Amino acid sequence: MCVVSETYPPEINGVAMTLARLVDGLRGRGHAVSVVRPRQRVDRCGPPRDAEEFLVHGAPLPGYGGLQIGLPAAGALRRHWTRHRPDVVYVATEGPLGWSAVRAATRLRLPVVSGFHTNFHSYAKHYHAGWFVRVVAGYLRRFHNRTTATVVATADLRARLNALGFTNLSVLGRGVDSGLFTPERRCAALRAAWGVSEHDTVALYVGRIAPEKNLELAVEAYRAMQRVGGARRFVLVGDGPQWAALQKRHPDLVFPGALIAQQLAAHYATADVFLFPSETE
């Protein structure tokens, strides 16, 4: 199997982390999985970190420092897959690299499955471009309907996409690593660093610090909790284009940045209320 994505660890976002778990899980079960992704900053000094990775050119993604968009690579992919022919291609992102991967796989008569990971058509209204919703939805529909099947995370998302004209949809659910994310990671020292006692209520948000996550509503909800004595601290884990502006407007909130693994698990376990007001998931 070959996974094609325009984002992959060490980049930190939902798509990258989900794909890493998928790849690790499949390899752990004995499947041969290769990855096609853009070359990242950490790759500039040597060969790919993983022998099963095929690197292509990328360009910076405007507004998101550290992230890239993959450039078209149909010719390179055809040559690569001719030499190392996979049984199936999984395309996880709908950018230029994703489109070229679908075309290359189709030309080589390789089965190609796509993953719908991000509701980009719902993002438009949060970037003052509500008129663009239908255009983006049409683009995504054409992309995914060119593939043999499209996997989605939930039955609800499958129903919503089906109503928009997407076809051949299947559900591939998400799991939680219960060995990592456990109440046993609750940390008194972390609460002390936040300036709260064990009896105070801490609200938590985890995700991109960006307009599409509707974070002003999260802050509004926290302020309402404050007024009735229901919360003492609000911790926002993540990074993104709104990070500096939110921190400046709300200096009493805690912004630890992007976290992974044990640090992230400790923040989940140590907080008391999870606030996640995004309407685009």
Q: pLDDT tier at 137 (50, 70, 90 boundaries)?
A: confident
| Nearest-angstrom CA–CA distance, 221 and 219 | 5
Task: Say yes or no: 111 and 197 in one domain.
Answer: no
Task: Say yes or no: 45 and 19 in one domain.
Answer: yes
Asked whether the predicted pLDDT for residue 133 surpasses 80, the reply is no
| Nearest-angstrom CA–CA distance, 211 and 242 | 7
**Which among 171, 200, 235 is the end of a domain?**
171
pTM attached to this predicted model: 0.83
Task: Say yes or no: 116 and 239 in one domain.
Answer: no
**Which among 171, 201, 223 is the end of a domain?**
171
279 is a domain residue = no
Say which CATH number the domain at 129 has.
3.40.50.2000
Evaluate whether 88 touches 26 at the Cβ level (below 8 Å). Answer: no
114 is a domain residue = yes
178 is a domain residue = no
281 is a domain residue = no
Task: Say yes or no: 154 and 66 in one domain.
Answer: yes
Domain count, the chain: 2
pLDDT at 11: 87
- 21-58 pLDDT tens trace: 999 999 999 999 999 999 887 766 555 556 689 999 99
- 214-241 pLDDT tens trace: 899 999 999 999 999 888 999 999 998 8
| Nearest in space to 109 (alpha carbons), one of 81, 129, 128, 71 | 81
Please give the residue range of the domain that contains residue 226.
183-274
